[in-house]
């Protein structure tokens, strides 16, 4: 088995496949360094070198691949981490400039619902979309309910634009009297919890 693995044809096939994979990954530096080891492997395989020398060449080639792949994965991880951090910074910068104004309760045509109106203003310099609101309902300062709402009526909110929205909260039909009153919010808070920063061409 080991003798077969050390045969010139196997060495050539293994080296060629690995080199092709690296080149397909569009890693010029890694491919260049591996090409040098690959050519040395070919030279060793063709000149009838001893099994020990072939084995050493294969080991060197494998070690070089492992080294370069470790460096590549590490660099890729650092790049991805840095990109995520930049996106988080940009998100927070825009979020600080989003403002909820005119939030108020209004009558609903349905007796078992609470209806609230408000306006979202984009004071940032970035257009946003896929906007999500986080709504908290309180009674006498105590949290009694939460809701997450997606503003699906607007695709993109440009810088300086405003968008009026409504929020409706259903009350359980089975609640009556004091129980219903205890579950009825007397204040509501809204914050923008999520959005995508859009790029307009």
70 and 119 fall within a common domain: no
Whole-prediction pTM value? 0.59
- Which has the higher per-residue pLDDT, 131 or 14? 131
Give the 3-state secondary structure percentages of the chain, helix then strand then coil, rounded to 5.
45, 30, 25
129 and 37 fall within a common domain: no
Instruction: Please name the residues in contact with 177: beta carbons below 8 A apart, sequence gap of 6 or more.
Output: none
> Looking at 62, 93, 124, which one is the last position of a domain?
93
Residue 169, domain CATH: 2.60.40.3230
Lowest mean pLDDT among 76-85, 94-103, 120-129: 76-85
- Which has the higher per-residue pLDDT, 51 or 31? 51
107's tokens: 């009558």
> Looking at 72, 93, 114, which one is the last position of a domain?
93
125 and 176 fall within a common domain: yes
50 and 102 fall within a common domain: no
* Residues 26-46: tens digit of each pLDDT: 455 555 555 655 566 556 555
Unique residue bearing structure tokens 């219903």:
180
In the chain, how many domains are there? 2
32 and 87 fall within a common domain: yes
> For position 111, what pLDDT does the model report?
78
* Residues 137-173: tens digit of each pLDDT: 999 999 999 999 999 999 999 999 999 999 999 998 8
Q: Is the dihedral of CA 12, 18, 20, 26 positive or negative?
A: negative
The CA distance from 114 to 185, in Å, is: 8
Residue 8: CB atoms within 10 A of its CB come to 16
Residue 130: which domain range?
97-197
Q: Is the dihedral of CA 156, 100, 114, 148 positive or negative?
A: positive
């Amino acid at each position: 088995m080991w003798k077969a693995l050390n045969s010139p044809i196997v060495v050539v096939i293994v080296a060629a496949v690995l080199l092709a994979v690296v080149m397909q990954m569009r890693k010029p530096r890694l491919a260049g360094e591996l090409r040098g080891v690959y050519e040395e492997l070919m030279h060793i395989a063709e000149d009838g070198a001893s099994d020990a020398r072939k084995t050493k060449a294969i080991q060197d080639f494998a070690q070089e691949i492992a080294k370069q792949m470790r460096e590549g994965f590490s660099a890729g991880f650092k790049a991805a981490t840095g990109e995520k951090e930049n996106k988080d910074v940009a998100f927070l910068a825009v979020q600080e400039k989003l403002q909820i104004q005119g939030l108020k309760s209004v009558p609903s045509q349905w007796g078992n619902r609470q209806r609230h109106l408000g306006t979202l203003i984009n004071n940032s310099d970035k257009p946003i979309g896929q906007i999500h609101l986080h709504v908290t309902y309180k009674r006498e300062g105590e949290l009694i309910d939460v809701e997450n709402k997606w503003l699906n009526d607007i695709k993109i909110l440009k810088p300086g634009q405003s968008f009026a929205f409504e929020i409706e909260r259903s009350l359980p039909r089975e609640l009556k009297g004091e129980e219903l009153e205890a579950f009825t919010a007397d204040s509501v808070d809204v914050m923008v919890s999520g959005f995508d920063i859009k790029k307009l061409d």
